Amino acid sequence: MSAPDPDVEYDEERLREETGILEGVEWIGDGMASARMWTKPSASVLAIDATPVRDASNTLIATARAKVSVRIAPGDTAENASAALREHLLSNAPWGARVEVEAGQGGAGTRIDLSGDRATAALAALREGFGVEAVQIGTGGSIPSWPSSPN
């Protein structure tokens, strides 16, 4: 599940400069950079456990594990995103590897209505403070930070 594309685009050359991505490294995903960052689900490998370099040898390792984080698109649920990741991992296991997926905790993606009095006041304060209109984007909810609408 994805939310609608944002009304603004994030220039990919600017993004390269700001992130420090190495020359020649290609971006992954389809569509606008702003949509890939803000309104579409994504998965990131946060950690990998395998044989440490100091103990490595030219042998197969018996087991490895990884912690994967999923950014949940606005309007999606943690359960749906977890099920989609699970299906992807199980369907794409290479070389007959056995894959086990253990779901962690999650929070739902949200869409917040910004037409209420408090949201309108916040947008006005941002406009006054920065001298330009705030850009309203949907950035998902993989780190739930707002339990209810600001209205």
Flag the least confident range among 14-28, 44-58, 66-80, 82-96. Answer: 66-80
Average pLDDT, the chain: 84
Give the DSSP per-residue string, 46-96.
EEEES--GGG--SS--S--EEEEEEEPPTT--HHHHHHHHHHHHHHT-GGG
* Contacts of 84 by beta carbon, 8 Å cutoff, 6+ apart: 41
Residue 43 forms beta bridges with which residues?
70
Task: For residues 144 and 133, give the distance between their C-alpha atoms in angstroms, rounded to a whole number.
Answer: 25
Task: For residues 68 and 46, give the distance between their C-alpha atoms in angstroms, rounded to a whole number.
Answer: 6
pLDDT score for 144: 52
Chain-centroid distance of CA 106 in Å reads 12
Task: For residues 84 and 20, give the distance between their C-alpha atoms in angstroms, rounded to a whole number.
Answer: 30
pLDDT score for 130: 96
Question: What is the rounded (10 degree) CA torsion for 14, 18, 21, 24?
Answer: 20
pLDDT score for 58: 93
Binned at pLDDT 50, 70 and 90, residue 142 comes out as very low
CA neighbor of 53 nearest in space, from 61, 65, 42, 43: 61
**Model confidence pLDDT, tens digit, residues 1-37:** 677 777 788 888 899 999 999 999 988 888 888 888 8
Residue 139 has pLDDT above 80, yes or no: no
Express as a percent the part of the chain with pLDDT over 70. Answer: 88
Flag the least confident range among 75-89, 113-127, 129-143. Answer: 129-143
pLDDT score for 4: 77
Binned at pLDDT 50, 70 and 90, residue 83 comes out as very high
